[in-house]
A and B are shown apart, each in its own frame.
Chain A
Amino acid sequence: MQRGYWIRSKPLYDSLVWQTPAVAHLVVAGGEGGIAVLKLFQQMYPKDPIQVLYADLPKAEKNYSDILQQIVLEELDICDSEESLLENLEQRLKDCTMGTHFYVAGSEAFMWQVLQKTRAAGVQDVDVQKELCGTLARPVYCVHCKTITRDVHHNVFPCSNCGRHLFVRDHFSRRLGAYMGVMVDAEEPGNIPQIEEVYP
């Protein structure tokens, strides 16, 4: 990003902090997002009921389910995959009422999968606390073949479906939960800039 230049759609993330007053709290984390949950539980707990949903993820460098089971004495549900976590979340959202606060932590791709579920339940993205953990890897949407490639680490990468070399932009779609990827050598086929790992 250039100095003084800013793409409005680029999401910014914070650290999780308990939001009060509330009637209940639902915390959802995957993989390295576990560290944000541990940090949350170093703060003074709110008195309202707390539920935590967590899944170890195969791509994460570190997973936290063992530590969380020792630390989180509230209702903790360890799921065995991201898919089962999202299914579990969908069920729980049906019983949540207004006044429940939501917290999500993990990679960007993980968080926006969770946000699709909360949004479908009528929760606005801005009302969910979000903490980015572990990696800056981006989910990227190919504007040519409309495929989303998860965990992109480089400024330019080959689309997982059509193979075009895509340049990763900062433009972000909340609906799709992905950054925009556009063919980098459309005007001069084969002229591909130096590929660098900018989203470690």
Chain B
Amino acid sequence: MSILNVKVADVEQVTDMVKHFTLVEENGQPLPRFSGGSHVVVSMNINGRIHRNPYSLMGSPENTDSYHISVRRQENSRGGSVFMHDGIEVGSKLQITYPVNLFSLSKLGKKHILVAGGIGITPFMSQIADLKRLGDDYEMHYAFRSAEHGAFVEQLKQMCGDRLHLHIESEGQRINFNNLLSNQPLGTHIYVCGPEPMVNALLLTAKDLGWPKTHVHSEQFLAPPIGDSFQVQLVKSNMEIEVPGDMSMLEAMEEAGLEPDFLCRGGACGRCEVEVLECDGALMHNDHYLSDAEKASGNKIMPCVSRARCQKLLLNI
């Protein structure tokens, strides 16, 4: 996988929980162009173990001088966001993947409704730049817990003007999805990024109101959940590895020296899919990629976020 070497040109504390990092190419070269909604995967060396987390690019896609990512500090997680907050400063060097877009705007759309919860605002910052360039009709709905958690509100006001709708939970303002999704003109597309309950509520409302799936877009990157350790036999590689409780299968394979395919590392894209040849226990599917039927059939697994509880697991890799 192609890697970009970058260094941190600026760090800004946006809210108590959110830091914004400006990344430039290490040798001052222009960075690759991208489309609104793209993300990069940032590699971090934390105590000798490589963590890789996906972050949405927030800057304008026209700007190839720098990339912009924002990280919310997650205390009860595996340490990637805490490392970014505490261990990264101006001048730090990082490795990132080329941008990949799993959350692009539909070019067939006549109107676009963007819905963000909390840090889920980040992919929309680059999408709005695209929408403004295309001159398309859009609304930006941004929900957050309280005024001090509203990252980038001033910037959004400047970018969106009266297309921006803020929903501040502490002031009793919640997005009414039923109202939002009713009576929208044909050709409207909706995009949602935010906490899981919010995304699920929106997807359910869209379904109940007869919206076709082709018009409903969501992105949620999952952090690999922590679980019990288990053993995996990798048949093609002729290897047996242990997946520790705080590591994903994908990370354990990488630690063992393999280079499995991946893109998002968050259970969204399906790139790291692996065939399950045998499992004497339960697969714990945590991804958003496989259908319910595929999850039930137990022939495939997404090693970036999914785990197993079993004595014997054979993967065709």
User: A50 contacts the other chain (Cβ, under 8 Å)?
Assistant: no
- Given the known interface contacts A21-B208, A21-B209, A122-B108, the answer about A97 and B186 at a Cβ–Cβ threshold of 8 Å is yes
The docked-state distance in angstroms from the alpha carbon of A139 to that of B187 is 27
Number of A-B contacts (CB under 8 A): 53
The residue among A98, A121, A127 with the most chain B CB atoms within 10 A of its own CB is A98
Residues in B neighbouring A162, C-beta threshold 8 A = none
Is there contact, CB below 8 Å, between A19 and B210? yes
CB atoms of A97 and B184 under 8 A apart: yes
Which chain A residues lie closer than 8 Å to B183 at the CB level?
97
Question: Are A97 and B185 in contact, CB atoms less than 8 angstroms apart?
Answer: yes
The reply to whether the CB of B230 lies closer than 8 angstroms to some CB of chain A is no
B210 touches A124 (CB 8 A): no
What is the total number of residues of chain B having a CB less than 8 Å from a CB of chain A? 19
Which residues A87-133 have CB closer than 8 A to chain B? 93, 96-101, 121-124, 126-127
On whether A99 and B210 interact (CB within 8 A), knowing A122-B109, A122-B110, A124-B108, the answer reads: yes
A98 to B206, CA, bound (A): 9
What CA separation (Å) do A97 and B214 show in the bound complex? 15
Q: What DSSP secondary structure best describes chain B's contact surface? A: loop
Assess whether A22 is interfacial by the CB under 8 Å rule. Answer: yes
Q: Does A20 contact B (CB under 8 A)?
A: yes
B181 touches A (CB below 8 Å): yes
Q: How far is the CB of B188 from chain A (nearest CB, A)?
A: 5
Nearest-neighbour CB distance to chain A for B202, whole angstroms, equals 13
B209 close to A124 (CB less than 8 A): no
CB distance B181 to A98 under 8 Å? yes
Q: Is B161 an interface residue (CB 8 A)?
A: no
> Quick check: is B163 within 8 A (CB to CB) of the other chain?
no
Nearest 4 pairs of A and B residues by beta carbon: A122-B187, A99-B210, A22-B210, A127-B212
Add 10 more A-B contacts to A100-B186, A122-B110, A122-B185 (CB < 8 A).
A23-B210, A98-B181, A98-B184, A98-B188, A98-B209, A99-B211, A100-B210, A121-B187, A122-B109, A122-B188
Binding site for A on B (CB under 8 A): 108-110, 181-188, 207-212, 214-215
